[in-house]
Amino acid sequence: MSEPNVAADQLRLLIERIERLEEEKKGIGDDIKDVYLEAKATGYDAKIMRQIIRLRKMQPHDRQEMEAILQTYLAALGME
Amino acid sequence: MSEPNVAADQLRLLIERIERLEEEKKGIGDDIKDVYLEAKATGYDAKIMRQIIRLRKMQPHDRQEMEAILQTYLAALGME
Amino acid sequence: MSEPNVAADQLRLLIERIERLEEEKKGIGDDIKDVYLEAKATGYDAKIMRQIIRLRKMQPHDRQEMEAILQTYLAALGME
Amino acid sequence: MSEPNVAADQLRLLIERIERLEEEKKGIGDDIKDVYLEAKATGYDAKIMRQIIRLRKMQPHDRQEMEAILQTYLAALGME
DNA sequence: AAGCAAAAACCCCATC
DNA sequence: GATGGGGTTTTTGCTT
């Protein structure tokens, strides 16, 4: 048409961009799943691998949090 | 060392691959968030856009069925 | 000790009160889960029941408005 | 009516039970919020209190998990 | 408005 | 092959 519904197009474009990104994201999710399958085939347990990865991710953060807590514990108890 | 722990290397490699993929995945997640922000800035409602995307993902048949059940329940409750 | 740490006791008390309340809250959450299970056993769809409950919680006006926006978006995308 | 819609009644009853439970749950949530307000008025920081509570909740679980990981790490690397 | 915490949906697995 | 359960991710609502 000569007078396209601009707003509609705009919305559609945004949604299509999101859908494309979500597909990509899903693709990577599948890749991850494949690596787990490969690991499993090699004899590793996926559940344990997930734990390890979580631990590696958490460690810096958690140590920080733990420290923060300690500090604040003392402060809260008026022992600073 | 002259006798590297092959199993350890193998496991570490698998884990590092997964960690890299997860980073990528996170990056795309951030991109998606950006598009929603852009949409919001343009005046669109992110929450409803999410609904739309969910609906588009469903098979027409499933979508119809779900809608039908919803209507039935609403009717049963006098909410039509 | 002859000089108990009053501040520490106070903080501990507050925290214990919260922990007790959170337990209660969790208990009710479990009850809710049970009702959904019962509903499911009777043939109802839990997911749709949740939708219904969400709708009932909204003010009629808000619900109408949301529905209207959804329709507008669907129309814009040719999904009506 | 002399022939009530039994199914409708049944659904309504289930939903009303859930709604009542959710109200209770919300009430407790409000109580919790109140305790936090009280704590704040006494000079404690809610965010820090939340951290403490989370930590107290996590500790047993996390120590277990950590130990499990350690075991499995060794096992996975053939060092058991 | 931006991050954080709670709730909900989804997905995979194991089990019967 | 279905069915529940655990865990992960996604969404929503809240607080600052």
Of D11, D77, D78, the CB nearest to B73: D11
Residue A24's SS3 state is helix
C-alpha C61/C-alpha D21 separation (Å) is: 25
Residue B10 CA to F10 C1' — how many Å?
32
pLDDT digits (tens, 9 = 90+) for C56-65: 999 889 999 9
pLDDT digits (tens, 9 = 90+) for B15-66: 999 999 999 999 999 999 999 999 999 999 999 999 999 999 998 899 999 9
Three-state SS across chain C?
A: CCCCCHHHHHHHHHHHHHHHHHHHHHHHHHHHHHHHHHHHHHCCCHHHHHHHHHHHHCCHHHHHHHHHHHHHHHHHCCCC
pLDDT at D69 over 70: yes
D11: chain B residues, CB-CB within 8 Å: 73, 76-77
pLDDT given at position C2: 45
- The answer to whether C58 and B47 are in contact (CB under 8 A) is no
pLDDT digits (tens, 9 = 90+) for D14-62: 999 999 999 999 999 999 999 999 999 998 889 889 988 988 888 878 8
Q: How many cross-chain Cβ pairs, A to D, lie less than 8 Å apart? A: 32
pLDDT given at position B66: 93
- Tokens 């978006």 sit at which residue? C73
C-alpha closest to that of B12 among A49, A40, D68, D67: A49
pLDDT given at position D2: 46
Q: Do B25 and A21 touch (CB under 8 A)?
A: no
Q: Which residues contact A74 (CB under 8 A, 6 or more apart)?
A: A80
Q: How confident is the model at residue B3 (pLDDT cuts 50, 70, 90)?
A: low
Does the C-beta of A33 come within 7 A of strand E? yes
- Mean pLDDT, to the nearest integer, of C42-69? 93
Identify the sign of the CA torsion A39, A41, A42, A48.
Answer: positive
pLDDT at B4 over 70: no
Can you give the pLDDT of all 80 residues of chain A as single tens digits?
544 578 889 999 999 999 999 999 999 999 999 999 999 999 889 998 998 898 888 887 877 887 888 888 788 777 65
pLDDT given at position D51: 87
pLDDT digits (tens, 9 = 90+) for C2-41: 455 777 889 999 999 999 999 999 999 999 999 999 999 9
What the block records as the tokens of D50 is: 């939340």
Q: How many cross-chain Cβ pairs, B to D, lie less than 8 Å apart? A: 20
pLDDT at B2 over 60: no
Give phi and psi for D3, each to the nearest 5: -120, 75
C-alpha B56/C-alpha B52 separation (Å) is: 6
What the block records as the tokens of B14 is: 């698998």
Query: How many residues are given for chain C?
Result: 80
Q: How confident is the model at residue D70 (pLDDT cuts 50, 70, 90)?
A: confident
- The answer to whether A77 and C11 are in contact (CB under 8 A) is yes
